[in-house]
Structure 1
């Protein structure tokens, strides 16, 4: 607040609590200087919820003590802390290799949130919907074909042989059994999940399930689906 805004705030407070009014010109000047010194970094109001007049009115309504500059500063600091606690730093738009620019944008965003000129950026929830993928990421995935680089995929192959065998079969044009739901009774694995079998306890009841080899019926379903998709692709050309 500048001196003009603080003078307006003191005039407003004087209408609500006459005890703060200074009739002597020297006392009024000293009061204005004191409040300007203590409230110089506190805005009179922001676009997002802060208003010094509201803070002053609330104190006068709820306290029997004469208002002091600290009674405006405390709500302002609480307002700042609350906004920063709800803020999740968005990724800066500058080059991440430019450390100075990266830090400056983070600090500038936090300062704007703290002083009430920008709204806190909420952290986005983790979703599984493909519609939520960033368009730039989708373009990148279409360009490289996978989110795992080929070199990294080859290095991981010895540690996940089942996945590597599946990828090799798909590369050879064979059906991908895990692309369909398993209809084997007692399995019913969803697409992308391996087949499972029940473990029977001594009492004859099912205890749990464990991964097992892909059921033949699931391979047949995947082959039928692949054949149907191939027929749909070739049908317009034949016509």
Structure 2
């Protein structure tokens, strides 16, 4: 904050607190006060729209909130109060900042580091808004939405064919739906000793002669009764 900014800020504070006017009663007192404030607040911006900061608003908040701070009832605002307001604001800015990828050659560590530190310094001084490009957006990019609308899936057809040996159950379900048949995993399995939930594969189950299950394993195919149940459900919806 420069001396001219401090002068304007003190003039604003004087409209809220007559004690500020008294410490700047003479030109000598005013000049000394402005110099001291400018030195103390050298690293704080007067106004930083990109950072959502305005020192005059911090001054106003100091007097609006002073009922919760009894010490403020007995003294005028000081540089320390602005420092105390800027510190959490700066911390919040830096917490939201994600370092953008520098455009410098990564084989030039000095240039890479200088650009990285430069972007951080710009945010820390309020000259630049935090870079939040790594945050998840609320919706896919329009170009991605158009692609998905065209191919119907984020997985290209060629890649889908290559994955069939590794996802046989998924491939069977997709083939059934493409052929207008029922997805067998769209309903729970009705087999008593399987009872796979909707969307879960059917399972083998090993039983002792006493009827106690000792182990189970995933089946590559669903139980036929489950296929019949899915078909009946699909026909019921179609009807």
- What's the TM-score once normalised by structure 2's chain length? 0.58
The answer on whether the counterparts of 1:198 and 1:206 sit within 8 Å (CA) in structure 2 is yes
RMSD: 4.9
The answer on whether the counterparts of 2:62 and 2:77 sit within 8 Å (CA) in structure 1 is no
Determine helix, strand or coil for the equivalent of 1:51. helix
Once the two structures are TM-superposed, the CA of residue 144 in structure 1 deviates from its matched residue by 0.7
Determine helix, strand or coil for the equivalent of 1:192. coil
Equivalent in the alignment of 2:11? 8
Residues of 1 paired with 2:8 and 2:140: CA distance? 45
2:64 counterpart of 1:61: no
Change (3 A) 1:207 1:35: farther
Residues of 2 paired with 1:80 and 1:67: CA distance? 20
Once the two structures are TM-superposed, the CA of residue 24 in structure 1 deviates from its matched residue by 3.8
| Long gaps (5+) in structure 2 | 105-114
Change (3 A) 1:188 1:25: same
Change (3 A) 1:182 1:17: same
Determine helix, strand or coil for the equivalent of 1:185. coil
Alignment of 1:38-77 (within 5 A): 38-39=40-41, 41-43=44-46, 51-55=58-62, 58=66, 61-62=70-71, 68-77=78-87
- 147-156 or 52-61: which moved more? 52-61
Determine helix, strand or coil for the equivalent of 2:231. helix
The answer on whether the counterparts of 1:9 and 1:53 sit within 8 Å (CA) in structure 2 is no
Aligned residues: 207
Structure 2 counterpart of 1:220, from 228, 232, 237 = 228
| Long gaps (5+) in structure 1 | 126-131, 233-239
Residues of 1 paired with 2:193 and 2:159: CA distance? 36
Once the two structures are TM-superposed, the CA of residue 186 in structure 1 deviates from its matched residue by 4.2
Residue-by-residue CA offset, 1:153-172 (whole Å, 9 max, x unaligned): 12222322332344344445
Once the two structures are TM-superposed, the CA of residue 220 in structure 1 deviates from its matched residue by 0.5
Equivalent in the alignment of 1:154? 161
The answer on whether the counterparts of 1:80 and 1:115 sit within 8 Å (CA) in structure 2 is no
Once the two structures are TM-superposed, the CA of residue 16 in structure 1 deviates from its matched residue by 5.3
Equivalent in the alignment of 2:27? 25
Residue-by-residue CA offset, 1:151-202 (whole Å, 9 max, x unaligned): 2212222322332344344445544212333233243333322123556689
Residues of 2 paired with 1:206 and 1:111: CA distance? 63
Once the two structures are TM-superposed, the CA of residue 5 in structure 1 deviates from its matched residue by 2.9
The answer on whether the counterparts of 1:175 and 1:226 sit within 8 Å (CA) in structure 2 is yes
Equivalent in the alignment of 2:109? none
